[in-house]
Amino acid sequence: MINVLEQSALKGLELRAVCAFKDNYIWIAHNDTHALIVDPGQADPVLHYLQKHALELHAILITHHHADHVGGIEAIKQVYPNATVYGPARENIPHCDHTLEDGDDIEFPVLQLQFQVLDVPGHTAGHIAFFSTGPDGAQPFLFCGDTLFSIGCGRLFEGTPEQMLASLDKIAALPADTLICCAHEYTLSNILWALEVEPTNTQLQQYHQQVVAQRAQDQPTLPSRLGLELDANPFLRTREPNIIAAARQYADADLTQDSDVFAALRQWKNNH
């Protein structure tokens, strides 16, 4: 479990990533009294954290139906029966109390937080993400599940390259200082691949050094910031000449559409 944030901008809100399984993160937002959690694939690490800090669980936010994101809901609800589960309308989520779709707003007055729901299909067909401008609009953050990873993106299990690219474009349009709270620690392996795609990207090179140092000390690399991802994540750079040229060379094809470039990059990463 971790705390890597400048807490000042979050105005009393704590944003923490609890480790689960091998490389999952379960995000917790709390104000020392009330808490909400995101994608609890496992119950025990979350229950441990909530009990240790004497927090009352108010809500469980779910981005998509995969077991490593929903597997802990049942056991957590047994301990916190009043916690409300919010999940995507277009997917089957166990114990879901409120279904959400694109443009929905949810409010948590006890945490002084409000979220806007974004449909982000691609990894799964009904995947959603939760965007908040933060307490008093001071520090935006995004719970994006398995859609965007630092220097990577989710695999296309249920969606098309066109859908995933449109989902990533939606995220790319958020404020550049948005904290990106991803559900997996994949950053280092993503960077090693991205350095092959864009070896001359100096921000990527610098980020590589930082991430190597963080991982050597077993620290999380998340949350990332959207601005960094826009500068260094190949999947958000499919219109950049460097990236297009690299994807064309990899695919040995013309790749006339943006989504063709995206699909070639996704293929490249899958085979890396």
| Residue 88 β-bridge partners | 100
Q: Are 204 and 122 in contact (CB under 8 A)?
A: no
Site string (45-74) toward Zn ion, x via CB under 5 A:
---------------------x--------
Tokens for 21, please give them. 């399984």
Kindly state the number of chain residues that form the binding site for Fe ion, as judged by CB under 5 A. Answer: 2
- Give the CA dihedral 76, 183, 117, 96, nearest 10 degrees: -30
Which span sits near Fe ion by CB under 5 A: 146-154, 160-168, 171-179, 198-206?
146-154
For residue 200, the minimal CB distance to Zn ion (Å) is 32
Helix H or strand E encompassing 270: helix 258-270
Query: Which of Fe ion, Zn ion, none does 229 bind, CB closer than 5 to 8 A by kind?
Result: none
Query: Which of Fe ion, Zn ion, none does 208 bind, CB closer than 5 to 8 A by kind?
Result: none
Site string (56-75) toward Fe ion, x via CB under 5 A:
------------x-------
Q: Which of 146, 198, 229, 260 forms a contact with Zn ion (CB under 5 A)?
A: 146
Instruction: Count CB neighbours of 270 within 10 A.
Output: 9
Q: Catalytic site residue 146?
A: yes
DSSP strand E in the chain: where?
14-20, 24-30, 34-38, 56-61, 84-88, 98-100, 105-108, 113-119, 128-132, 141-145, 148-149, 152-153, 179-182, 224-225
Q: Catalytic site residue 68?
A: yes
**Interface residue list for Zn ion (CB under 5 A):** 66, 146
Catalytic residues: 64, 66, 68-69, 123, 146, 184
**Interface residue list for Fe ion (CB under 5 A):** 68, 146
